[in-house]
C-alpha cells in the first residue's frame, strides 16, 4: 500500500467516525430539543460551507477563484451540491422520520452497490472478487448493527423506502461526482462551495438563522455536528475519495453505524449484543479486504496493466438494468400516480421493465392510473428502450462534442447490430434524425383525429405518445381513459389510426440498417445487401399471409372495408407492437396460435422490435431447404450463409422455446390457469409484444418476475446475454476427432 493509499484509508476511517458521532448527536437533538431536520441541514450547510470557504480564501484562494471562473465545473459542482450533499442529507433524515434509523441506515448503504455498478460501468470494467466480497461484508455489518439481525425491524413504508433509496442515490453521487472536482480544486473548496449552494436552496424553506431554543447540551451537540460532523468529516472523506477512489471509499461508510453504536455504549451505557459484535467483525473484515485490495493494486501495476474490461455486450446489459432501476424509482413517486400515492416496487418494476423493453404488458392501466408525470416517464423509457441505451448515450456524447473512443464505437456497433465499426457515428446521426422525423410525422397524422375527440392539448399529447409507442413497437396506449385496458378497440374501423399505427410499427420493426441501405441505394433493389433483401421479403410474407388468414377465416362476418383493416392490423401488431383493435378472446384458438407464432418471430435485427427476429426464421428455413437439397450451406439471393450464422439461429430458437415453454408451464402451475393462456402471455413477454389474454394484472409475484425476466431476455437478445456471460471464451484451437451421430 502506497503512502497516498494509507493516507486515504486513515482519512476515510476518521471521516466516517466523525459522521457516525454526528449522527448520534443529530438523534440527540431530534429527541431532546425537537429540532427540525430541514433546519438542521440548512444550518449545517450554511455554517460549514462558510467555514470551508473562509479557509479556502486564506489558504487556497487561487483554486477557489479558478473554480468560480470555470463554467463547466460550476455546473458539475451544482449537480454535486444538489445530488450529493442536499439529497443525501435530507433524504436520510426524512427516511428516519418515515421509518426508523435502522431502516434508513441499511437503505442508505445500498449506495455501495450503486457506486460499484456506476463506477465500473463508467470505466467499462468489471469489479474484482475482493471488492465484491468487501461490499457484501460492509453491507452485512451495517445490516446487523442497524437491525440487530432482525429483518422485521425494518419499517418499509412506501415513503421510507423512497427516501431511503434516495439517500442511497445521494450517497453514491457524493462519492462519484466529487473525484474529479477534488483533484482539480481541493477538498476545502469543493465541499465549501457545494454546501453554500445547498444552503441557498434550503434558505427559502428553513433559514439557518432561525434557531430554535436549545439546551446547553443541545448547543454542544450542535457545535460538534457543524465542526466535526460536517466540516472535518466532509474534508477528510472527500480526500479519501480522491486517494482511494469512490468504490473503496464507499466501503468505509460501514464504520459510521459502528461508531454510533460504540458511542451509544460509552455515553448511554448500552451493551453490545451478539449482532453488534458480528457487525463489527464484518466491517473490520471489509476494511481488511480493502487494505489487501489496495496493496494488490500496486503490485507490478496489475490493475493499470490488466484491467478487467467490460465487453460491449456487458455494457449493453448493465445499461438496460440501470435505466430499468431508475425508471422504477421514478414511477414509485407519489407524483407519478393520479391518486398521489406511492406505487409498490413490484408494480413500478414491472411497468419500467415493460417500457424499457418496449413490450406493453401492464399491471396498471396507463391512462387511468398514471399521472401526466408518470406517463411522461413511461414515454421516455419507451424512447430510450426503443433506440437502445447505448444509442442514446452515444447521441449525448456526439451532441456534447466529445470524442468517441474505439470501445464506444464497438459497443454502438453491437447495440444496433451493425456489420462494422467504420462509419458508426454517421449511422447514429442518421438514425436519430430519421427516428424523430418519423415519430413527429406520425404524431402529425394522428393529431387531427385525437384533437377532435380530446381537445387540442390532450389530442397533441395522445398523438405524440401513440406515435412514439407505435414506432418503438411498445404497445402502451392512453385509451384506458374510456375503458381500462381497452387499447385501440374503439378505432378498429378508423382507417387513419389503424393505417398510421401499422405503418409506424413496420418502419420501427424493419431495422435501422435496412433504412440506411434503402436510403443509400434508393430503388435499386439489386444493390441491396443480402440482409436487407431477406428482411423485406420475410416482413412482406409475414404481413400478407396472416392477413389472408384473418380476412377469410376470422372476420368473415365483418363489412369488407373494416375486415381489410382488421386483418392487416392483426398481422402487423403481433410483431412486436402489442396494440389490439379486437378482443383477443373473440378469436378462434387457431387465430390465437397464429398470433402466438408471430409474437415469437418478432421484428428484424437492429430495430425497435424484439422476438427471435425475421432473419433467424429465414436462416432456419433456408437451412432446412439446403438439407432437403443436400447442400452444405443455405443460400439467399446467390449468397452463401455461414455455418456460424446457422448455429446462432438454431441456438436462438432453442433458447426461446425453452424459456417460452418453461415460463408458461410454471405460471400455469402456480396460478392454476389454462396452459395455452399462459403460453400466450409468455410468448408476448419474450417477444416484447404486449398482447395479453387479460391475466397479467392478476398474476402473483413469482409469475410477474418470470415475465420481467422474459421481457428483458427478449429485448437484449439471447446471444447478447450469452456473450456477456462468456466474454472471454477459452479456445485452445485444438480440434477433436469427429464422429457421426444419426439424427431424425
The reported pLDDT for the residue numbered 298 is 44
Q: Does the pLDDT of residue 621 top 80, yes or no?
A: yes
The reported pLDDT for the residue numbered 157 is 63
Q: Does the pLDDT of residue 496 top 90, yes or no?
A: yes
User: What does the mean pLDDT of the chain come to?
Assistant: 79
Rounded CA-CA distance 97/700 in Å is: 31
Longest dimension (CA), the chain: 95
Sign of the torsion angle spanned by Cα atoms 409, 415, 421, 424: negative
Q: Does the pLDDT of residue 733 top 70, yes or no?
A: no
Identify the weakest region by mean pLDDT among 76-85, 373-382, 435-444, 480-489: 480-489
Q: Does the pLDDT of residue 300 top 50, yes or no?
A: no
Rounded CA-CA distance 135/175 in Å is: 15
Q: Which residues have C-beta within 8 Å of that of residue 518, sequence separation ≥ 6? A: 528, 532
Closest by CA position to 97, among listed 43, 23, 160, 44: 160
337 strand-pairing partners: 370
pTM of the model: 0.67
Q: Does the pLDDT of residue 56 top 50, yes or no?
A: yes
The reported pLDDT for the residue numbered 305 is 38
Q: Phi and psi (nearest 5°) for 591?
A: -65, -40
> Among the residues of 522-601, which ranges form H helices?
530-549, 560-572, 589-601
- Do 727 and 311 meet the contact criterion of CB atoms below 8 Å apart? yes
Give residue 487's region: left, alpha or beta (phi > 0; psi -120 to 50): left
- Residue 311 DSSP label: P
Closest by CA position to 565, among listed 468, 488, 465, 461: 488
When pLDDT is averaged across residues 232-238 and rounded to a whole number, the result is: 75
- Residue 636 DSSP label: E
Q: Distances from the Cα of 116 to the Cαs of 24, 172, 326, 369, 502, in angstroms?
A: 28, 9, 16, 35, 43
When pLDDT is averaged across residues 300-306 and rounded to a whole number, the result is: 39
- Do 348 and 332 meet the contact criterion of CB atoms below 8 Å apart? yes
Rounded CA-CA distance 546/568 in Å is: 8
Per-residue cell: 426:
454517421
Span 88-126, pLDDT tens digits: 877 877 776 676 555 566 667 667 666 766 666 656 566
- Do 247 and 7 meet the contact criterion of CB atoms below 8 Å apart? no
When pLDDT is averaged across residues 306-335 and rounded to a whole number, the result is: 75
* pLDDT class of 302 with cuts at 50, 70, 90: very low
Q: For the chain, first and last CA: distance in Å?
A: 63
The number of residues making up the chain comes to: 744
* pLDDT class of 141 with cuts at 50, 70, 90: low
The reported pLDDT for the residue numbered 412 is 66
Rounded CA-CA distance 118/322 in Å is: 9
Sign of the torsion angle spanned by Cα atoms 109, 113, 119, 122: negative
- Position of cell 483554486? 63
When pLDDT is averaged across residues 314-320 and rounded to a whole number, the result is: 76
Q: Distances from the Cα of 104 to the Cαs of 138, 157, 281, 641, in angstroms?
A: 15, 11, 21, 57
Cβ burial, residue 52 (10 Å; 0-12/13-18/19+) = buried
Most confident of 232-236, 578-582, 721-725: 578-582
Closest by CA position to 565, among listed 495, 496, 503: 495
Rounded CA-CA distance 154/480 in Å is: 37
Quick check: helix, strand or coil at residue 485?
Answer: coil
The reported pLDDT for the residue numbered 521 is 87
* pLDDT class of 504 with cuts at 50, 70, 90: very high
Q: What percent of the chain has pLDDT over 90?
A: 24
Q: Which residue has the higher pLDDT, 270 or 227?
A: 227
* pLDDT class of 253 with cuts at 50, 70, 90: low
When pLDDT is averaged across residues 367-388 and rounded to a whole number, the result is: 89
Q: What percent of the chain has pLDDT over 70?
A: 74
Most confident of 28-42, 64-78, 175-189, 535-549: 535-549
Q: Does the pLDDT of residue 198 top 70, yes or no?
A: yes
Q: Does the pLDDT of residue 395 top 60, yes or no?
A: yes
Rounded CA-CA distance 473/704 in Å is: 21
The reported pLDDT for the residue numbered 301 is 40
- Do 113 and 225 meet the contact criterion of CB atoms below 8 Å apart? no
Domain ranges across the chain: 3-301, 316-724
- Position of cell 380530446? 454
Q: Which residue has the higher pLDDT, 572 or 63?
A: 572
Identify the weakest region by mean pLDDT among 124-133, 170-179, 346-355, 376-385: 124-133
Does the N-terminal peptide bond of residue 576 adopt cis geometry, omega within 30 degrees of 0? yes
When pLDDT is averaged across residues 610-630 and rounded to a whole number, the result is: 90
Per-residue cell: 96:
428516519
Q: Does the pLDDT of residue 542 top 70, yes or no?
A: yes
The reported pLDDT for the residue numbered 307 is 45
Quick check: helix, strand or coil at residue 733?
Answer: coil
> Among the residues of 357-423, which ranges form H helices?
366-369, 372-387, 389-399, 406-415
Amino acid at each position: 500500500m502506497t503512502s497516498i493509499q494509507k493516507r486515504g484509508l486513515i482519512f476515510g476511517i476518521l471521516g466516517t467516525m466523525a459522521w457516525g458521532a454526528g449522527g448520534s448527536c443529530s438523534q440527540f437533538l431530534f429527541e431532546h430539543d425537537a429540532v427540525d431536520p430541514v433546519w438542521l441541514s440548512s444550518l449545517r450547510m450554511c455554517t460549514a460551507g462558510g467555514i470551508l470557504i473562509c479557509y479556502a480564501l486564506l489558504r487556497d484562494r487561487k483554486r477557489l477563484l479558478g473554480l468560480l471562473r470555470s463554467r463547466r465545473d460550476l455546473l458539475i459542482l451544482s449537480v454535486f451540491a444538489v445530488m450529493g450533499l442536499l439529497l443525501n442529507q435530507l433524504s436520510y433524515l426524512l427516511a428516519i422520520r418515515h421509518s426508523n434509523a435502522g431502516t434508513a441506515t441499511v437503505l442508505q448503504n445500498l449506495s455501495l452497490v450503486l457506486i460499484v455498478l456506476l463506477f465500473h460501468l463508467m470505466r467499462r470494467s468489471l469489479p474484482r472478487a475482493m471488492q465484491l466480497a468487501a461490499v457484501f461484508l460492509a453491507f452485512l455489518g451495517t445490516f446487523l448493527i442497524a437491525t440487530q439481525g432482525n429483518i422485521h425491524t425494518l419499517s418499509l413504508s412506501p415513503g421510507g423506502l423512497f427516501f431511503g433509496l434516495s439517500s442511497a442515490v445521494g450517497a453514491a453521487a457524493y462519492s462519484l461526482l466529487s473525484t474529479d472536482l477534488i483533484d482539480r480544486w481541493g477538498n476545502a473548496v469543493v465541499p465549501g462551495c457545494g454546501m453554500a449552494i445547498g444552503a441557498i436552496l434550503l434558505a427559502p424553506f428553513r433559514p439557518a438563522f432561525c434557531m430554535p431554543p436549545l439546551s446547553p447540551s443541545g448547543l454542544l451537540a450542535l457545535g460538534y455536528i457543524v465542526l466535526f460532523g460536517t466540516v472535518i468529516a466532509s474534508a477528510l472523506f472527500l480526500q479519501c475519495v480522491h486517494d482511494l477512489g469512490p468504490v473503496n471509499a464507499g466501503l468505509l461508510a460501514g464504520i459510521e453505524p459502528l461508531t454510533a453504536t460504540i458511542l451509544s455504549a460509552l455515553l448511554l451505557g448500552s451493551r453490545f449484543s451478539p449482532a453488534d459484535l458480528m457487525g463489527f467483525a464484518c466491517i473490520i473484515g471489509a476494511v481488511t479486504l480493502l487494505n489487501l485490495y489496495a496493496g494488490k493494486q500496486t503490485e507490478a501495476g496489475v490493475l493499470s496493466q490488466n484491467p478487467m474490461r467490460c465487453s460491449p455486450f456487458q455494457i449493453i446489459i448493465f445499461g438496460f438494468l440501470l435505466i430499468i432501476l431508475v425508471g422504477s424509482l421514478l414511477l414509485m413517486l407519489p407524483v407519478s400516480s393520479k391518486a398521489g400515492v406511492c406505487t409498490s416496487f413490484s408494480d413500478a418494476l414491472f411497468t419500467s421493465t415493460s417500457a424499457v423493453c418496449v413490450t406493453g404488458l401492464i399491471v396498471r392501466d396507463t391512462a387511468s392510473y398514471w399521472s401526466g408525470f408518470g406517463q411522461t416517464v413511461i414515454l421516455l423509457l419507451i424512447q430510450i428502450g426503443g433506440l437502445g441505451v447505448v444509442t442514446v448515450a452515444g447521441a449525448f456524447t456526439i451532441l456534447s462534442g466529445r470524442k468517441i473512443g474505439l470501445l464506444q464505437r464497438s459497443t454502438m456497433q453491437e447495440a444496433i447490430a451493425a456489420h462494422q465499426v467504420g462509419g458508426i457515428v454517421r449511422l447514429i446521426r442518421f438514425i436519430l434524425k430519421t427516428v424523430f422525423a418519423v415519430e413527429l410525422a406520425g404524431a402529425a397524422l394522428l393529431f387531427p383525429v385525437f384533437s377532435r375527440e380530446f381537445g387540442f392539448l390532450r389530442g397533441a399529447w395522445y398523438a405524440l405518445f401513440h406515435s412514439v409507442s407505435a414506432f418503438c413497437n411498445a404497445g402502451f396506449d392512453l385509451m384506458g381513459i374510456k375503458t381500462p385496458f381497452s387499447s385501440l378497440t374503439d378505432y378498429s374501423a378508423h382507417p387513419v389510426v389503424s393505417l398510421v399505427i401499422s405503418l409506424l410499427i413496420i418502419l420501427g420493426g424493419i431495422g435501422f440498417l435496412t433504412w440506411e441501405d434503402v436510403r443509400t441505394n434508393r430503388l435499386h433493389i439489386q444493390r441491396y445487401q443480402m440482409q436487407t433483401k431477406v428482411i423485406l421479403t420475410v416482413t412482406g410474407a409475414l404481413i400478407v399471409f396472416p392477413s389472408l388468414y384473418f380476412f377469410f377465416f376470422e372476420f368473415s362476418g365483418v363489412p369488407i372495408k373494416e375486415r381489410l383493416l382488421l386483418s392487416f392490423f392483426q398481422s402487423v401488431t403481433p410483431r412486436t407492437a402489442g396494440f389490439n383493435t379486437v378482443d383477443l378472446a373473440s378469436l378462434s384458438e387457431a387465430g390465437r396460435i397464429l398470433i402466438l407464432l408471430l409474437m415469437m418471430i418478432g421484428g428484424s435485427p437492429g430495430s425497435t422490435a424484439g422476438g427471435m427476429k425475421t432473419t433467424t426464421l429465414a436462416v432456419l428455413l433456408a437451412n432446412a431447404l439446403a438439407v432437403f437439397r443436400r447442400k452444405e450451406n443455405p443460400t439467399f439471393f446467390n449468397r452463401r450463409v455461414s455455418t456460424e450464422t446457422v448455429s446462432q439461429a438454431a441456438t436462438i430458437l432453442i433458447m426461446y422455446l425453452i424459456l417460452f415453454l418453461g415460463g408458461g408451464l410454471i405460471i400455469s402451475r402456480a396460478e392454476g390457469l389454462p396452459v395455452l393462456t399462459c403460453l400466450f402471455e409468455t410468448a408476448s413477454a419474450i417477444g416484447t409484444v404486449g398482447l395479453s389474454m387479460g391475466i397479467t394484472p392478476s398474476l402473483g409475484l413469482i409469475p410477474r418476475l418470470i415475465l420481467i425476466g422474459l421481457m428483458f431476455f427478449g429485448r437484449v437478445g439471447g446471444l447478447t446475454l450469452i456473450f456477456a456471460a462468456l466474454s472471454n471464451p477459452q479456445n485452445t484451437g485444438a480440434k477433436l476427432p469427429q464422429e457421426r451421430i444419426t439424427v431424425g
